[in-house]
Each structure stands twice: as C-alpha cells, then as structure tokens.
C-alpha cells in the first residue's frame, strides 16, 4: 500500500495491473476522509489527444522500484468511471467508483464525501 507520506513521490509513475501490464501513469491519490489513508488513485489513460483520468482503488496495491501495481485487471480499470484531466471529482460521482469495483460505499452521516484528493 502507498503510505500517505509517499504519495507525492509516486506521481507520474507507471501503474500496472496484477499481470504487470501497463494501465497508465499515476496522476493523483485520493484519501479516505475518515482515516486519511490512500484509498483511490487516478490514472492517466488514453491516447495523447484524448487523455482521461480513470479511478482505481489502492487496496492491495504494491509499490515497486518505479511502478505501482494495482490489484485489478487492466480491462476493469480501463472501463472504470473517469473524468477529464482538468476536472474535479464531484461528491455525487464517488459512489459510481465504488460500485464499479463492487466495494461498499458509505458517506458520512451528514452526507460528507468519502474521498479527498492529496
């Protein structure tokens, strides 16, 4: 797992799936707002003229010498909810990320968001 202190060091590193196939490059990390632990990453994917940021959970991620290996297959990550490279994740879109990966989603009691970008 990527430690909170290490987040900035891993930006722009390759992200690979469990089989070692490159998915894209790490753009940002979103932490769980309750624990401040890394929860989800955005990965730059797509053609140079049509880049987008795909979301992938960091549970089970492993950091290598110059890559981050995620626990999800490339095809699942490529089909994940995404946004433009200059966009911001709206709170109402968080649930779709968790649903895509069959993960539980529980916002705060007052509807507070679960993810915050670091």
Q: Which residue has the tokens 């290996």?
A: 69
Q: Would the pLDDT of 105 be above 60?
A: yes
Phi, psi dihedrals of residue 99, rounded to the nearest 5°: -60, -40
pLDDT value of residue 65: 83
Whole-Å CA distances, 77 to 20, 21, 34: 13, 12, 25
**pTM for the whole thing?**
0.88
How does pLDDT run across 82-96, given as a tens digit for each residue?
A: 998 888 999 899 999
**Contact between 69 and 44 (Cβ < 8 Å):** no
How does pLDDT run across 8-64, given as a tens digit for each residue?
A: 677 889 999 989 999 999 999 999 999 888 899 999 998 777 889 999 999 999 888
């Amino acid at each position: 797992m990527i430690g909170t202190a290490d987040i900035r060091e891993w930006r722009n590193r390759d992200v690979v799936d469990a089989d070692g196939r490159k998915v894209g490059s790490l753009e940002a990390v979103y932490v769980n707002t309750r624990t401040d632990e890394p929860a989800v990453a955005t990965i730059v994917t797509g053609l140079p003229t049509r880049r987008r940021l795909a979301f992938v959970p960091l549970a089970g991620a492993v950091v290598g010498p110059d890559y981050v290996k995620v626990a999800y297959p490339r095809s699942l990550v490529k089909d994940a909810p995404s946004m433009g490279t200059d966009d911001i994740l709206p709170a109402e879109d968080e649930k779709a990320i968790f649903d895509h990966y069959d993960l539980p989603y529980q916002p705060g009691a007052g509807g507070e968001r679960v993810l915050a970008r670091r």
